[in-house]
Amino acid sequence: MRSTKSSPTRRLAGILAVLTTAVLCSALAMSAPAVAKAGGRATSVTAAWAPAATATITPGVMMYTAGAQCTANFVYNDSAGNVYVGYAAHCAGQGAATDTNGCNVQSLPLGTPVTFNTGGSLASDGTQVGTGTLAYSSWLTEKSLGTTDPNTCAYNDLALVKVSAGDVGKVNPSVPFWGGPTGIDTDGTAAGDRVYSYGNSSLRAGVSQLSPKTGISLGDDAADGGWSHPLYTVSPGIPGDSGSAFMSADGKAIGTLSTLGLAPLPLSNNIGDLAKELAFAQANSGIAGLQLVLGTEPFAPVL
């Protein structure tokens, strides 16, 4: 396996790796979105979100950390009203692209600056639309706790970036193109289940038409304790898509993109289970009241 973040010094290598071995890494409208708990229950909170049509920080936005590019999954908030955007923990990892065990790999510290960008490519980081700081990393937390469970170490790949106060008004929690999320999926996937995603790798040279993706689950592997879900999409996730959101056929958040593999399932993707990743963060991040924010736009699977 190989992580799916895209690094400027390894972008060309990242393209070749996909072909050979590897895995992955305004005016405000008032609304009252719901906040989903890991068990699927939701409570209502009042927040001011940018209109979905004009928001610049949303699921799917590019995120740059120390030059490496990944993709946002969902929006989260806490009891103090802070807003966070999620991506893959390995996006701030300091290991090689093949290092995907969070318990063994060093990571950048909390407080590391992260930018939100649009239009990034091999030639340019595109346009910066906001800033934030790394506020939680499952990889850092696993190491601090001395985690030894192999499935948690291998598949818990979620980090949260706290959006700078001046940029919170640019945020909308809806997944572009699809809408949602409508909740959190807690019962896994079966072979053949339809899934929906929105990725934004700089290796696609800013071709936004390639961002929406749909595919099918390959069925859950009981051996990993429900921590991951292998699947195929019409165009597989590539380096830079790391962290992307995945939703079920009813718009519930299933997981976040972590890796691309060739064996035993060529060019399949592997996503970490969001219900487990978020529950781990809620228990260990120190962020009080951490929750997933539901989309303001209805889920509409048009493909």
pLDDT tens-place string over residues 145-196: 999 999 999 999 999 999 999 999 999 999 999 999 999 999 999 999 999 9
Alpha-carbon distances, residue 45 vs 11, 42, 84, 140, 232 (angstroms):
41, 10, 15, 30, 35
Mean pLDDT of 279-299: 98
Domain identity same for 164 and 41: yes
- β pairing state of 252-261 and 183-184: parallel
Q: What is the 3-state secondary structure (H, E, C) of 162-184?
A: EECHHHHHHECCCCCCCCCCCEE
Q: Per the structure block, which two tokens stand in for 129?
A: 């639309």
The answer to whether residues 128 and 248 belong to one domain is no
With respect to residue 14, please indicate whether it lies within any of the assigned structural domains.
no
What CA dihedral angle connects 1, 132, 129 and 77, to 10 degrees?
Answer: 90
pLDDT at 223 over 90: no
Helices (H), the chain: 11-20, 138-145, 150-155, 274-284
C-alpha of 213 from chain center: 14
Q: Are strands 245-247 and 194-198 parallel, antiparallel or unpaired?
A: antiparallel
89 and 207 in a single domain? The answer is: no
Give 77's strand partners: 83, 291
Alpha carbon 92 to chain centroid, angstroms: 13
Kindly indicate the confidence band of residue 260, based on its pLDDT and cuts at 50, 70 and 90. low
pLDDT (tens digit per residue) in 97-153: 778 899 999 999 999 999 999 999 888 999 999 999 999 999 999 999 999 999 999
CB 58 within 8 A of CB 174: yes
166 phi and psi angles, rounded to 5 deg:
-70, -10
Domain assignment of residue 7, yes or no: no
Total number of domains in the chain: 2
16 in a structural domain: no
Residues spanned by the domain of 287: 27-169+277-293
State residue 208's pLDDT score: 65
Question: Are 158 and 198 members of one domain?
Answer: no
Q: Is 89 helix (H, G, I), strand (E, B) or coil?
A: helix
Residue 112's domain is classified under what CATH number?
Answer: 2.40.10.10
198, part of any domain: yes
CB atoms within 10 A of CB 222: 8
Evaluate whether residue 263 is within a structural domain. yes
